[in-house]
Amino acid sequence: MKNLWVLAVLILVFSCLNDKNIPLPVKPISIDTTTIPPVVTTPVVTNCSPDTVYFSQTILPLITSNCAMSGCHDVISRKEGVILTDYTNIMREVKVSSPASSDLYKCLFANSEERMPPAPATEFSSANKGLILKWIQQGAKNNSCSNTATCDTVNVSFSASVSPVLKTYCVGCHSAASPSAGIDLSTYTAVKVYATNGRLMGSITHAAGYKPMPSSISKLGACEINQIKAWVTKGMLNN
Ligand code: HEC
C-alpha cells in the first residue's frame, strides 16, 4: 500500500515536471462565428463594368501594396520625391495624353532606367502592367464602382476566396522575396501560420493589439473579411 502511494506521488511529480517542458500552444484567436452573416441571397446588384479598370477597386490596392511600403513611396519615405498613396500623388506620374509614356507605366519594365518595384521584388506581371495602362488609356479617372453581389461565406476556399484578396492587398509588402515584418503571405503554407496564430484575422479586422492591415490603405471590405474569417473557421483548408 505504501509503495502505491510513493508511485502515485512520483507520477504526479513527473507529470508536473514534464508540463513545464511542453511549449505553450499559441493561443488561437477565438472567432465568433455568429458574426459571420449567412450567405446573402439577394440578386447581384453591381454597377461595375467588366470593361472598366477602376481606381479604387484595382489600381490603388495594386500600387499601394507594391510601391507605397515604408522605405519606398509612402508619405514619409517618398523615394525620389515620389508618393504613391493616393490619387492626387499617383496622377503626378501619369500622362493621360500619352498613356504608354507615363512614368507610372514605363518604370514597370526591365529595360527602364530603374525598374520598379526594384529587386528583390518581382517584376509586375503582364496582366498587372496591362491594368495600369488600360486605366490610364481610359482617362486615369478617380473612379470606383459598387458591387453588392452575393457575398458567399459558405462556399469559401483558399484559392477562390483568400489567395486573390491577399495577392491584391498584401503580397506586395508580404512577399517571399521581401516580407515586411518577416511575414510572407504568398503561399498557402505561409498564410496558414498567421491564420493559426490569430495574426491574420487580428490584423485585417483591426482588432486591439494587432497592427491594422493593409497598412497603407483602408480596411478590407466586409465581404472579404467575412470570407477569410469563414475560411479560417472551417479549418484553413488548402482548397
Ligand atoms: C504597404 C505595405 C503593407 C501592406 C500593403 C500590408 N502590410 Fe502587413 N505589415 C506591413 C509592415 C511594415 C508590418 C510591420 C508593422 C509594424 O511592426 O509596425 C506589417 C505587419 C503585419 C502583420 C503582423 C501584425 C501584428 O500585429 O502581429 C500581419 C499579420 C500583416 N502585416 C498582415 C497583412 C495583411 C493580411 C495584409 C493585407 C490585407 C497586409 N499585411 C498588407 C506592411 C504591409
Measured CA to CA, the distance from residue 5 to residue 239 in angstroms comes to 53
Q: How many CA atoms lie within 13 A of 100 on its CB side?
A: 1
Among 187, 114, 148, smallest CA distance to 37 is for 148
Among 149, 153, 147, smallest CA distance to 44 is for 149
pLDDT at 13 over 50: no
pLDDT at 1 over 80: no
User: For residue 181, which phi and psi values (nearest 5 degrees)?
Assistant: 55, 20
29-33, 61-65, 131-135, 198-202, range with the lowest pLDDT: 29-33
pLDDT at residue 218 in the model: 78
For the beta carbon of residue 31, count every other beta carbon within 10 angstroms: 15
What does each C-alpha distance from 5 to 12, 16, 18 come to in angstroms? Answer: 11, 17, 20
pLDDT at residue 29 in the model: 60
Report the pLDDT averaged over residues 179-192: 95
CB burial of 70-92 (b: ≥16 within 10 Å; e: otherwise) equals eebbbeeeeeeebbbbbeeebbe
**CA gyration radius for the chain?**
23
Grid coordinates given for 234? 472551417
Report the pLDDT averaged over residues 180-199: 95
What does each C-alpha distance from 27 to 100, 127, 173, 236, 237 come to in angstroms? Answer: 50, 40, 26, 16, 19
Q: Which atom of ligand 1 is closest in space to residue 68's alpha carbon?
A: 1
Among 147, 151, 172, 161, smallest CA distance to 59 is for 172
12-16, 26-30, 32-36, range with the lowest pLDDT: 12-16
Q: Evaluate: CB of 66 within 6 angstroms of ligand 1.
A: no
Q: Which atom of ligand 1 is closest in space to residue 64's alpha carbon?
A: 1
What does each C-alpha distance from 173 to 118, 121, 211 come to in angstroms? Answer: 13, 9, 14
pLDDT at residue 195 in the model: 97
Q: Evaluate: CB of 203 within 6 angstroms of ligand 1.
A: yes
Segment 74-104, tens digit of pLDDT: 888 899 999 999 999 999 999 999 999 999 9
Measured CA to CA, the distance from residue 85 to residue 88 in angstroms comes to 9
pLDDT at 232 over 60: yes
pLDDT at residue 7 in the model: 53
Query: Candidates 70, 79, 183, 226: which one to mutate for ligand 1, based on the most atoms within 8 Å of Cβ?
Result: 183
Q: What type of residue is 112? A: S
Measured CA to CA, the distance from residue 124 to residue 59 in angstroms comes to 13
Among 168, 164, 163, 147, smallest CA distance to 195 is for 163
8-12, 46-50, 156-160, range with the lowest pLDDT: 8-12
Q: Evaluate: CB of 172 within 6 angstroms of ligand 1.
A: yes
